[in-house]
Structure 1
Amino acid sequence: MSPREQRNLREKERRTRMKHLFIILSSHVSPTHRLPVPQLIDQATSYMIQLKEKVNYLREKKMSLLGEMGNYSERSSSLLPKLSIYSRDSTIEMNLIMDLNMKRVMLHELVSVFEEEGAQVINANLQNLNDRMIIYTIVGQAIICRIGIDPSRIEERVRDLIF
């Protein structure tokens, strides 16, 4: 092969690889339809900015919850359990802080409450803190976005489990 043919072949492979990478990016950013490359890059950029803001928000929320945990460990455990449910658009997040000496609640029981109320569980987490407290965090998304999720119903059912 001549150097010119080798260069043309490498360029063709590069274009094919870039096309494949743009297809993968498109499937993450806009899975329903294909976009032209400039629009795809614009949407990917805005999507990354949104994700970064969400990560910062969640970090701040985690720090505030951990700060509350420090305050709770200094006080009596009569303030526990603490249940907080946040709902935004078609997503719902539940944070539950319990003392280990209280009634045991299994993570799968909490997940089943979410699923029975029409939410698909995206993330479920269980964390022991100071060998005295346990933190349950569950994030769910409505299976059918038009119908949504009723946070008050989930809160009522979780409270029934806790007490």
Structure 2
Amino acid sequence: MERAREIGEGSSSSFREQRNLREKERRMRMKHLFSILSSHVSPTRRLPVPQLIDQSVSYMIQLKEKVNYLKEKKRTLLRGEVHNRSEGSSSHQPKLSISSRDSTIEMNLVMDSSNIKRVLLRELVSVFEEEGAQVMSANLQNLNNMTFYTIIAQAIICRIGIDPSRIEERVRCIIS
């Protein structure tokens, strides 16, 4: 009888240890996942978990809104291209838009591929870099005889920022 009780106690003790070990592994994994999330949402400072989750939700909502905005902008640009073609216009003037928010600046340029002057993406990127911006994304896309340039950059020194009007002026000199 005592022998049976010893075996029973031993198995419940090892079961408890296994459960504790699994719980410890789960906590370590969650801590690691929150650490990764924190590095994406707030890389400069560590936040408490509830605040981290709130900021993550806000960040995802902002990203979703930006995606919707960009999709709509693309649709509008493509509709404008189809509309202009139906009017019989063979050469389009370049369309340039520059927007800035906080220390980030975004440039969208649409040019007709039949334009005599070809603009190199590296020329546009160099304008941003010379104006004190670090280029985070630069994209060139050819679609239906149109060339779409998109550059997203961030100020190297946030306190100083970037002057969008100066960048616009220099880009217009390149494309004209």
Identity of aligned residues (%): 77
Structure 1 residue 115 displacement after superposition = 0.8
**Matches of 2:34 and 2:151, distance apart in 1:** 33
Structure of higher CA gyration radius: 2
Is 1:21 matched with 2:36?
no
Structure 1 residue 124 displacement after superposition = 1.0
Match of 1:121 in 2: 135
Is 1:110 matched with 2:128?
no
After superposing on structure 2, the runs of 4+ consecutive aligned residues of structure 1 that deviate more than 4 Å are none
**Matches of 1:146 and 1:137, distance apart in 2:** 24
Match of 2:56 in 1: 44
Secondary structure of 1:24's aligned partner = helix
Q: Structure 2: which amino acid aligns with 1:127?
A: Q
Structure 1 residue 74 displacement after superposition = 2.5
TM-score, normalisation: structure 2: 0.84
Structure number with greater CO (CA < 8 Å, separation at least 6) is 1
**Matches of 1:88 and 1:39, distance apart in 2:** 24
Secondary structure of 2:110's aligned partner = strand
Q: Which residue among 83, 86, 92 is the counterpart of 2:96? A: 83
1:45-97 Cα distance to aligned partner (Å, 9 max, x none): 12212222222222211211221222233341343222222222222211111
Secondary structure of 2:127's aligned partner = helix
Within-5 A mapping of 1:1-163: 2-75=14-87, 76-102=89-115, 103-130=117-144, 132-163=145-176
Q: Structure 2: which amino acid aligns with 1:85?
A: I
The answer to whether the 8 Å contact 2:134/2:154 transfers is: yes
Structure 1 residue 154 displacement after superposition = 1.0
**What are the ranges of 5 or more consecutive residues in structure 2 without an aligned counterpart?**
1-10
**Matches of 1:42 and 1:95, distance apart in 2:** 32
Q: Structure 2: which amino acid aligns with 1:151?
A: P
**Matches of 1:72 and 1:137, distance apart in 2:** 21
Structure 1 residue 111 displacement after superposition = 0.6
**What are the ranges of 5 or more consecutive residues in structure 1 without an aligned counterpart?**
none
Of 116-125 and 85-94, more deviation after overlay is shown by: 85-94
> Would you say how many aligned residue pairs link Structure 1 and Structure 2?
162
